[in-house]
Structure 1
Amino acid sequence: MMSAPSAGRSRGLPRHALRRSAAVLVLATLVALPFSVLYRAGVSRSPGASWGWETSLPAVVASEDEEGDDLDSEDLKLEQILKKASMGDNTVILTTLNAAWASPGSVIDLFIDSFHSGVRTNLLLKHLVIVAFDWEAYEQCIKIHPYCFALGTEGLDFSEEKRFLTSGYLEMMWRRLDFLRLVLEKGYNFIFSDADIMWFRNPFPHFYPDVDFQIACDHYVGNATDLRNIANGGFSYVKSNERSIEFYNFWYSSRLRYPGYHDQDVFNAIKHDPYIVGIGLTIKFLSTKYFGGFCEPSRDLNEVCTMHANCCIGLRSKILDLRIMMEDWRNYLSLPPNLKRLRTSAWRVPQNCRYDDGYPTLTSDSILSSSH
């Protein structure tokens, strides 16, 4: 094989050969330049287009000169909005939203209203980040709240109502879980709350100290450490550390072991896995006394922190019962103190949200048996 000519030999080339080489180089540059521009135009997309939307997203918190690669730009926006919304200990409150829940008078308006109507909850709104799954939800979010983040998924449309356990519903739930994992990896603790959860009191006094992962329940058996509690993934408080990050990686990967189930049901299966004990994750379940729902209501309005419109299929039914719930809460607040102490069970819900006989009751045992 011939070796490349050395620098000393190149100095011996005739002058006309050097001129010919220079001309070839200039010509090659002129030909290549337009293709380079076309290539950059083809791969350089607006932040909105990188998520599969036709319209580019306006900057959420980033200034105009903070541009770069699309994914880096989206990551920077997320970092900035989390930083702006976070509490002193790097804790944020997160909820997710799609167009079906974002229309005026729909779920998100009731969610925000509950913070305004709750006891010592109004100030928590400055720590809330609303994560929009689609462009329409994002546009509505920025009209009603200062901290909105656009989380698109290329090739998927999450804007319409997703009925329970449909393929679109499952995709959205797992996309949500993957996003929560990213927040933990960025060093932020979070309270995640579904938007169909009404906040009536500040929940922090009822969280357990020094616990990695705390989650609400559809059914609470009376002991915060008992794995027989049936968890509900719509409300959780998670600390960012190596254990929680590893757990979310394990949880997300477990979707492949249990195809056709959503994140909540998969959690109710993997909570028994020895791997969780091995990584040292501490888990506690939140009592429905403080964190109730339609499945198992919080009975004492003097104690309730949150109420979830769970065990409910259909957006219209959910909204109707959430409005009744807010009416119940305002009626309670209007009572004099002596009558408030006597009002321990006053919810008129669920009325529209009731399981029919054909509704699937999913337990950890049924998931485990169906996976074999």
Structure 2
Amino acid sequence: MANDGPTGNLLHVVPEQSVDGEDPIQAALAAYTRDIIVAVDRILAEFLAAEVGALGEIDAAMGEFAATARDYVLGGGKRVRPTFAYWGWRGVLGGDQPVEPVLPALAALELLHTFALVHDDVMDASTTRRGRPTAHVAVAARHAADGRNGDSERFGEAVAVLIGDLCIVWADQLLARTALPAPQLLEVRRGYDRMRVETVAGQYLDILGETDPTNWSVDRALRVARYKTASYTVLRPLLFGASLAGAGDPALITAYNRYGRSVGEAFQLCDDLLGVYGDPCTTGKPAGDDLRTGKPTALLILARQLATPAQRRALDGTGPRADEPEIARLAEVVVDTGAVDRIERMIDERIEDALSALDTVAVDETARTALVGLATAATRRSA
């Protein structure tokens, strides 16, 4: 299938007939989204090569530190945020405008994401991410292997915090390279800063909930989802893309807000399910940690609310040292309470609302098709 690349018109690359029953529009959208991901990864690789080289000139150890940060940026990931930002941009301008001027801004979102992930892993004491050791675990292991002085775990956590800090500075630097008029870029920056503040707010509420899980509510868990996940995964990237396109239509912004909030919350609810029932080989993270820690996700709060007294005793009796058979039994208890069915209905309701929002506004038809597909893909996933 011929492809014009990220600057081409997607409608020009749709095959006339499907292959092996594959829907041609969806096949073209998938191919086009891959082009955007490839373009974002290229921008990131070029930018990071220069930054790692510059830091390596200060000291060889600085170069090694920067290379570790680079590897966590480039080491996998679905590039969800740049994708939503691109389609938010494309929804405003259509397919005739070249995307190259805004590629640095799209790529900056991935640096922001790495900052959030690395810090989140320290706060959650997570050991794996994307199927590999988390940054603080990997750095601690190297510290121990080298026989250095001091506590290896403490050193790993300190370095991981610095990796996250470096990534958020890099994000600012890359965003500044976006080829837009200064007044427009300043407006883009306002939305970007709001996204960062909301991410911190959601993360704070998330760790606060773990200190008093029995008094946390479903509404508050959804508020965490709204700010920790919906805001910087879907809603703000979508609005970020619209801002990059200079969108000024209030109806479009309202529709994007509604779509982004609903899909983002559904995305987090899906994550809650994957945190208990996902395959670690696919998710890249261990399953059952939420059950071990009693983290107040909407899923587990609902399970406790719907549980019989015996089921609640089983759920409340979990501890951080629970073995795999015990975690598997508790996962079955959660299903038996009806909480999984309830969460799946909540996901469906949010996706329905998101798609209804797109029907209320004029938007580029190819972008509309992509956003419909992304809403489904974001919540019907295994990782």
- Whether TM exceeds 0.5 here: the answer is no
Q: TM-score, normalised by structure 1?
A: 0.24
More strand per residue: 1
Q: Which protein shows a greater Rg?
A: 1
Higher helix share: 2
Structure with bigger RCO (C-alpha 8 Å, 6+ apart): 2
Please, what TM-score do these two structures have when normalized by structure 2?
0.24
